[in-house]
Amino acid sequence: MTAGSGVGIPPVQRGGEWRFGSGRICLDLVATSPEFPRPPAAAQEPLADTGRLEHWLIGAGLVPEGTRLGCVDGVWVSRFVELRDCVAQLVRAELDGRSAESALERVNTIAAGPPPRIRAVRDQHGALVRALCTAPDCGALLAAVARDAVELLTDPADRSRLRQCEGDNCRRVYLDTSRGRRRRWCSSEVCGNRERVARHRRRTAAAAGA
């Protein structure tokens, strides 16, 4: 599911603290995984904090802003975490040149469900905006993300643009759509800036020791 389709991908820095700059909605879900090194099993799941999954759903463009999401609960979190981990296994297997058949089967099963039904409505200013036809349904939203993963991994051109962030201790994966495919980081403002700061410190230290 690419930008401009039924449920699109918004710019970076929407949805509270989440970052949406991977280029695909399924990769934005993978990016909610705890960063490497993974914390112990007893650690808090990032999506489980109060309102975090709700914020992600809106920030990722799966549901329009202003949608009531009182139905989101622990079951939703568990199902999105399951899909996230399966997509992550598939994407990392693709980058490593191996298979992940169990994860593939599960993603295909989820993708077979009906996606959210949308319609165009007028906002308070008279402009057409997107709305859901019915109350948000967990299965339908999961299907939208799983279909995006299927479309990504079965498209040779997009598959070839999958990249692992080169930032220290960052395992985020993104779609490199830059000119010349020279993008090195999941975010130039975050991982890229960290590397530039580290590089400056190394030069300063070297100059001081000369």
pLDDT for 37 equals: 42
CA distance 210 to 203: 10
Q: For the packed helices 101-111 and 138-153, what is the interaxial angle rounded to 10 degrees? A: 130
By CB atoms closer than 10 A (0-12, 13-18, 19+), residue 120 is exposed
pLDDT tens digits, 136-152 = 999 999 999 999 999 99
pLDDT tens digits, 78-133 = 999 999 999 999 999 999 999 999 999 999 999 999 999 999 999 999 999 999 99
Q: Which of 4, 44, 173, 146 is nearest to 86 (CA)?
A: 146
Q: Left if phi > 0, otherwise alpha if psi is -120 to 50, otherwise beta: which for 4?
A: left
**Tokens standing for 37?**
């090194």
Residues contacting 60, CB < 8 A, separation 6+: 9, 10, 15, 18, 20, 25, 28, 29
pLDDT for 195 equals: 65
CA distance 148 to 210: 53
Q: Mean pLDDT score of the chain, rounded to an integer?
A: 81
CA distance 113 to 106: 12
Stated pTM of the model: 0.78
Answer yes or no: are the C-beta atoms of 65 and 136 closer than 8 Å: no
**Tokens standing for 85?**
């981990």
No. of helices (H) and no. of strands (E), the chain: 7, 4
- What are 121's strand-pairing partners? 129
Question: Quick one: DSSP state of residue 180?
Answer: G
